[in-house]
Amino acid sequence: MAKKDQDALSFEAQKEQEAREARKKLKAAEKAKPEKEKDKKAAGKKKSKKALRWLRDFRGETKKIVWPDAKTVLKSTGIVIMAVLIIGSMVWIVDWVLSNSILFAKNVAAGSNATEQVTEPENNAMLDLFEDYLGGNAQDGNNDDDDNHDGHDH
């Protein structure tokens, strides 16, 4: 039994030692906490100083910019608008030529007269959907309600 008592006492002593060490660590952490807060404050001050320096540098760089006068801006804007119009019209012309070339090739392949146009079923379906959306026949301008009216009520 003496051995069991000795083991129990050493176990309790070991637990007590661990508890003391835990308390020491806790106290050390509590002491370090204010230091960490000080470090956070110092880091915050460093960040704010960096931000202020960046803003000053930014302001100085914007003062170095040479802004164009109104005449230069208008001239540059006109050049850009003309370039857009020219390139846009070139794209439109190429699109038109290619579209008509494809239609011509379809007409030749279908064996019909080259002046007749081959229409695709998808285009007719889209036209029908568009007509339904408008609420009538969009091609001839007639409304279905007016087809059988001869001026007399039946």
pLDDT in tens, the chain (154 residues): 556 666 666 777 888 888 888 888 887 777 766 666 666 777 777 888 889 999 999 999 999 999 899 999 999 999 999 999 999 999 999 999 999 999 999 988 888 654 555 555 555 666 677 677 777 554 444 444 555 555 555 4
What's the CA gap between 20 and 138, in Å, rounded? 94
Task: Give whole-number Cα distances, 105 to 16, 72, 109, in Å.
Answer: 98, 49, 6
Residues 6 or more apart whose CB falls under 8 angstroms from that of 143 comprise 136, 137
Length of the chain: 154
* Separation of first and last alpha carbons in the chain: 124
**Interval 62-82: pLDDT, tens:** 999 998 999 999 999 999 999
What's the CA gap between 121 and 142, in Å, rounded? 23
Q: In this predicted structure, what is the pLDDT of residue 131?
A: 75
Q: In this predicted structure, what is the pLDDT of residue 64?
A: 92
pTM for the model: 0.37
Q: In this predicted structure, what is the pLDDT of residue 112?
A: 62
